[in-house]
Every structure is written in structure tokens, then in C-alpha cells.
Amino acid sequence: MNSDSDKYIMDIVNKHTPVVSDVAQKIQGLLPHVYAWANGHKYEVKLSGSLAKGTGITGTTDVDLFISLDPSVSSCNTLENVYTTLRNRLSGVGYTTREQNVSLGINHCGLKMDIVPGVKHHALGFDHSLWKRKAQTWTKTNIDEHISHISTSGRTADIRAIKIWRKLRNMDFPSFFLELSVIEALRGNSLTSNPSGNFKKVMDYLSTDFITRTIKDPSNSANNISDDLTQQEKLVIKTTATQTLQGTWEEAIW
């Protein structure tokens, strides 16, 4: 870094770094409810999302949990039923449960959590089927591949800067879509630290190519991540990015 704007961006990113030391202990209190819901089927609960990828910031969803269910679940449950019964279980033990797209949101021990249930395709594999509530259909994905794809991209600091920009404007921009969009915007650019230049490149991309670009799930090319937002929702992001380019760094993120 060799400019005041680079230092400013990194100071802001560091200011928004989350403290996650006690997350594992708090998650333990949720596990008895997952055990009861699984009803004898094998399962694994794993940390996913931004904390696992190294792209978390303060003030957004604190914890993303993925529940990986054994393929035997499919013999007696549809994917919709898997999603619905988990919602019912959480609501039944007192959580205010928010139905999202593939996840269920709750507040637990002072943490905001997004919980995604998925069913393995094969007992020894990592591909999973998820229920997509908004589209009323299912999709195939691989959470482990997502984590690896983002965490090893060399763009985690750039992603965090854009997540701060999103948070400050309270925009609807799903995290995985955002992460992949940052990687796409910076494709072909050096991995040498250039936070202010990279931030501007991402804003340029969001204000131009983003609205028509198709972003695929890296673990399933049939899954268009860009379909997670409507054209109108994408237009809000495009317009906001255009406005950001016209302002100062202090107006962009703080």
C-alpha cells in the first residue's frame, strides 16, 4: 500500500473485524435441538458462511451454520419437509424463526444465526441438495467447495470492504453472490494489495457489467447465483455503485 486511500480502506476494514472467540461455545447450546430434530438420522453441524471463509464483518449475520444430513433422510422426507420441520422445531422451542431462501434465521445467545439444512447426495461425498423456498424447488451445492473457493481467492480483504459498503446502505445483496461478484470484478488483476484501486474496480463493475452478468455456483454450473436477485434489486446495487463513484472515500465506507 502506498497511498492515503489504501490506508483509509484498510483502517476501515480492520475496524469492522468481528471477534468470534466465543462462537463455538455458544453454538453448543443449539445442538440438542438439532439432535432432536434429526430424529435418529446421522448429521454433522459445521460452520459455514463468512466466518469460515474469512470474509466476516461486524454488524451482519454473526454465524452461518450448515447442517449436513445423511442421505437416508431422503427415504422419508422431501427437501421442503426437511426445511419446514427444522423451522417448526426451532419455533417450537421458543426461537423467533425467520424464513429466508435456503436458510432459517434465529437469534441465539446474543448471536444472529443463519441455519441451512442440506441432504448429502452420497454418504462419503460433499455435494448436498437444498430447498429453495422462494423458487419452491431444490438445488445442488457444495458448501466445502464454496469455503475453499472464497478463502483461497486472495480477495478476502476486498470482499470485506464491499460488505461494509453494503451494510452501511442496508442493501439486499446476498453474501455469496457478493463474494463471487468481487472475484469476478477483479479477475485478471494482480493479487498485490491495492485496496483502494480494487474497491474502485468493483464499483465500476457493479455500475456496469454486474446487472447483466451471469454468476454460476462454482460447485454446480446449473445453479445461477445471479438469479438470487431480481433485475430491480440488481438495479438498486448498480445505481448505488454509480453514486459511490461520484463521492469521496469518506462517503463510500466509514
Asked if residue 62 has pLDDT above 90, the reply is no
Average pLDDT over residues 159-177: 96
pLDDT value at residue 19: 76
Can you tell me the distance from the alpha carbon of 86 to that of 28, in angstroms, rounded to the nearest whole number? 17
Q: Which of 56, 225, 215 has its CA nearest to residue 151?
A: 56
**pLDDT tens across 74-128, in order?**
988 999 999 999 999 999 999 999 999 899 999 999 888 999 999 999 999 999 9
pLDDT value at residue 2: 60
Q: Which three cell numbers stand for residue 101?
A: 431462501
Can you tell me the distance from the alpha carbon of 18 to that of 197, in angstroms, rounded to the nearest whole number? 24
Q: Which of 134, 175, 128, 184 has its CA nearest to residue 155?
A: 184
pLDDT value at residue 99: 96
**Given phi > 0 = left and psi -120 to 50 = alpha, else beta, which region is 221?**
alpha
Asked if residue 1 has pLDDT above 60, the reply is no
Chain-centroid distance, C-alpha 98: 16
Q: What is the mean pLDDT of the chain?
A: 94
Non-local CB neighbours of 115 within 8 Å, separated by 6+ positions: 64, 65, 66, 67, 86, 90, 103, 104, 105, 106
What domains lie within the chain, and their CATH numbers? 4-16+148-252 (1.10.1410.40), 23-142 (3.30.460.90)
pLDDT value at residue 23: 84
DSSP SS3 for 200: helix
Can you tell me the distance from the alpha carbon of 65 to that of 103, in angstroms, rounded to the nearest whole number? 9
Q: Which of 179, 168, 157, 162 has its CA nearest to residue 251?
A: 168
